[in-house]
Chain A
C-alpha cells in the first residue's frame, strides 16, 4: 500500500531497512540469548543521524516528526523488537524535554541526544504504581537551589545505559496527581544508582533496571515545566510516544509475517509447500490484512500529531492498542505456521511472539488504552449534548 511518504521519509525507511538487514537481524538471536545491550547497533544508528529524526534542527536534529520516528522504529523492529526499543525509549525520555523544556534545557540536552552520544530514558513506573501512576512514592523536596529526590523507579527501559533521565516525583503529596513534577536527572549524580537488571520474557537485548534515588540532589533548573505539571508532562509525552510503541508492534508483526510467508513457501508436507494449502493461505491473508490496517492507523495518527493536533490522546491510544493486539495475534499465528519449528529457539518465530507481548503492556496497558478511548468518547458525547 502506498502511504504517500515524502522523499525524505522514503529515504529514512530505506536507510533503516539497510541497518536492519545488515546490522540488526544478524545479531538479534544472539543478543536475545546473551541479553547484551546493543551498543554496536546504537553507534550505527547514531552515525546515520537517526537519533535526531524528531528533534528540531536548531538543537542538532533532523527536524522531522513522529511519523519519521515511527518509520525508523517499525523498520528496526522487523529485525529485533529488543534493539528497536532501546532506540524508541530514548525518544520517550526525550519528549518531556522537547515538550516542556526551556530553551536552556533544550540547548543543554538535545544536541547530545540527537547525535546519539547519549541515550535518554523515562522514569515513571514504581513497584506500587503501574497503571495507577498517581500512586507514585518517589519524592522531590525543594531545599534552597536544589531538589532532593528519594525513592525507587522500576522497569525502566534503558535504565543504567542512558545518560539522561526524565523522572516523575511528588513535590507535594497532599495534592495527589496534581502534586507530581517532572525532572531531568543525569547519570552520575550522587545519590542516583541502579538496581538489578530484569530478566525478561522478550525484548531481551534491551536493558530494564531500577532507578534508585537516595538523597539525590539535583539543581532546581532541572525541573521541567512547573511544579505540579508532572502528570500533564507524562500524558502529553505518552500521546507523542504511543505511536512509537505501536510502530514497534507493527514492525514485529511485519517481521513475523515475512518470516511466516518465507517458511510456508519452503516447508514441504504431503509433497507440496504448505503455502499451497488453503488453511495456511487464509491465515497468511488475515495476518497481512491486519498488519496493513494497523499500519494505516499508526501512520494516520503520527501524521495527525505532526500536523499540530494537540488533542491526539484518543487516536494515539487506539493506534497503540490496535497495533499491539495485532502484533500478538500475528506473531502467535506465525508460530503456528512454523509448527514444531516455531516453538524452537532455532527459528525466529517464537522470539517475535515473546517480543510482541510487551507492546500490549508498556506505556499503558491495553486496558488503560481502552479507558482513555472510552473517556474521550464519553467526553465528546457530553460536549455535543450541550
Chain B
C-alpha cells in the first residue's frame, strides 16, 4: 500500500494578525506547526501502513523552512518527505496549490490512497484536498471519520455529514480528507526523532514536477483577495437602570432614534 499524506505548515495560533497594508498574515514571531487536521491525516496514513505494510510519503508545499514539518511527520513514522519549494510557487491560491500537489503526486506515480486534513487552520478553505483529486481525476471522499476496511482495491469509509454520517465505498486510488474524530495522533518515538533528524528530504521545483508555468504560483491563481480583516470587537452593550417600565421606555426611545 502506497500512502501519500499532504500536509501544510501553519502558524501556531488561531489568532493570526493580519497586515492591513498587504492583506497577508503576519508570520513573524509566530511559531510554525503542522496544521492540526493534518496530524490526523499523518496518523491515519501510518496506521494503514502498520496494518497493510507499504510506505507513507508525506508532501508539503512551502518555503524551505517547511522542511521541519516533514521531519516531524517522519519522526511519527512516515517514511519519506518531499518538499515542493520554488519561488515560482509563491502566491498560490487553492487552485494552484491543488494543481502543484497533484503534479508532484503524478511524479511519484504509484499511490493507492492520498490523505489530507479536512482543512488548514489558517486559510480554512477545505479546497486543496478535493482540488488534488480533481486534478488527478480520482474519487474523493471528504470529512472521513473512519476507515472501515481496505480490501480488493476498494476502501469503505464513514463520512461525516451535517445530519449524521454516510458509509461509502470507493475504488482505489482515491483521496480522503479526514476529521479529528478519526484517530488520536501518536507522540513520536525517540528512534523516530533520530531517524527524522538524519532523513534526506527531497526538494522538488516547478521543473521537477513538469508543472505548467501559467498554472502555478500567482499566475495560476485566479482567486483575488480583495480585503482581509479582523472583525472589530463587538461594542459593549448598554444596561438601563430603573423599573422595568422605565427601562423599556428608554429602550424603545433608543430604537426609534436608530430609525427602526
**Chain B, Cβ-Cβ closest to A53:** B190
Q: How far is the CA of A307 from the CA of B186 in the complex (A)?
A: 34
Q: How far is the CA of A47 from the CA of B190 in the complex (A)?
A: 9
Q: How far is the CA of A22 from the CA of B189 in the complex (A)?
A: 14
Q: Which residues of B contact A11 (CB under 8 A)?
A: 190, 193-194, 197
Q: How far is the CA of A23 from the CA of B188 in the complex (A)?
A: 13
Residue A92, interface by CB 8 Å = no
- The one of A8, A23, A47, A53 in contact with B189, judged by C-beta atoms closer than 8 angstroms, is A47
Residue B27, interface by CB 8 Å = no
Residues 11-22 of A, flagged 1 when their CB comes within 8 A of B and 0 if not, give 110010011001
The number of residue pairs between A and B whose CB atoms lie closer than 8 Å in the complex comes to: 31
Q: Are A15 and B188 in contact (CB under 8 A)?
A: yes
Q: Which residues of A contact B47 (CB under 8 A)?
A: none
Q: How far is the CA of A22 from the CA of B39 in the complex (A)?
A: 15
Residue A49, interface by CB 8 Å = yes
Q: How far is the CA of A50 from the CA of B194 in the complex (A)?
A: 13
Q: Are A15 and B186 in contact (CB under 8 A)?
A: no
Q: How far is the CA of A251 from the CA of B193 in the complex (A)?
A: 23
**Chain A, Cβ-Cβ closest to B185:** A22
Q: Are B187 and A18 in contact (CB under 8 A)?
A: yes
Residue B191, interface by CB 8 Å = yes
Residues in B168-196 with C-beta less than 8 Å from chain A = 186-191, 193-194
- The one of B186, B188, B197 in contact with A7, judged by C-beta atoms closer than 8 angstroms, is B197
Q: How far is the CA of A62 from the CA of B195 in the complex (A)?
A: 13
Q: Are A8 and B194 in contact (CB under 8 A)?
A: yes
Residue A44, interface by CB 8 Å = yes
Q: Is the interface of B mostly helix, strand, loop or mixed?
A: helix
Residue A48, interface by CB 8 Å = yes
Q: Are B187 and A19 in contact (CB under 8 A)?
A: yes
Q: Which residues of A contact B193 (CB under 8 A)?
A: 11, 15
Q: How far is the CA of A49 from the CA of B187 in the complex (A)?
A: 11
Q: Are A47 and B186 in contact (CB under 8 A)?
A: yes
- The one of A7, A22, A49 in contact with B190, judged by C-beta atoms closer than 8 angstroms, is A49
Query: B210 CB to closest chain A CB, in angstroms?
Result: 38
Q: Which residues of B contact A15 (CB under 8 A)?
A: 187-188, 190, 193
Q: Are B187 and A47 in contact (CB under 8 A)?
A: yes
Query: B95 CB to closest chain A CB, in angstroms?
Result: 36
Q: How far is the CA of A18 from the CA of B75 in the complex (A)?
A: 14
Q: Which of B187, B191, B193, B194 has the most CB of A within 10 A?
A: B187
Q: Which residues of A contact B186 (CB under 8 A)?
A: 47
Q: Which of B191, B193, B197 has the most CB of A within 10 A?
A: B193
Q: How far is the CA of A174 from the CA of B60 in the complex (A)?
A: 72
- The one of B187, B188, B190, B197 in contact with A62, judged by C-beta atoms closer than 8 angstroms, is B190
Q: How far is the CA of A53 from the CA of B187 in the complex (A)?
A: 17
Residues in B15-61 with C-beta less than 8 Å from chain A = none
Query: A250 CB to closest chain B CB, in angstroms?
Result: 21
Interface residues of A (CB under 8 A from B): 7-8, 11-12, 15, 18-19, 22-23, 44, 47-50, 53, 62
User: What are the 10 tightest A-B residue pairs by CB atom distance, in nearest-first order?
Assistant: A49-B190, A48-B189, A49-B189, A11-B193, A49-B191, A19-B187, A48-B187, A18-B187, A48-B190, A44-B187
Interface residues of B (CB under 8 A from A): 186-191, 193-194, 197
Supply 5 further A-B pairs (C-beta < 8 A) apart from A11-B190, A15-B187, A15-B188.
A11-B194, A12-B190, A44-B187, A47-B189, A50-B190
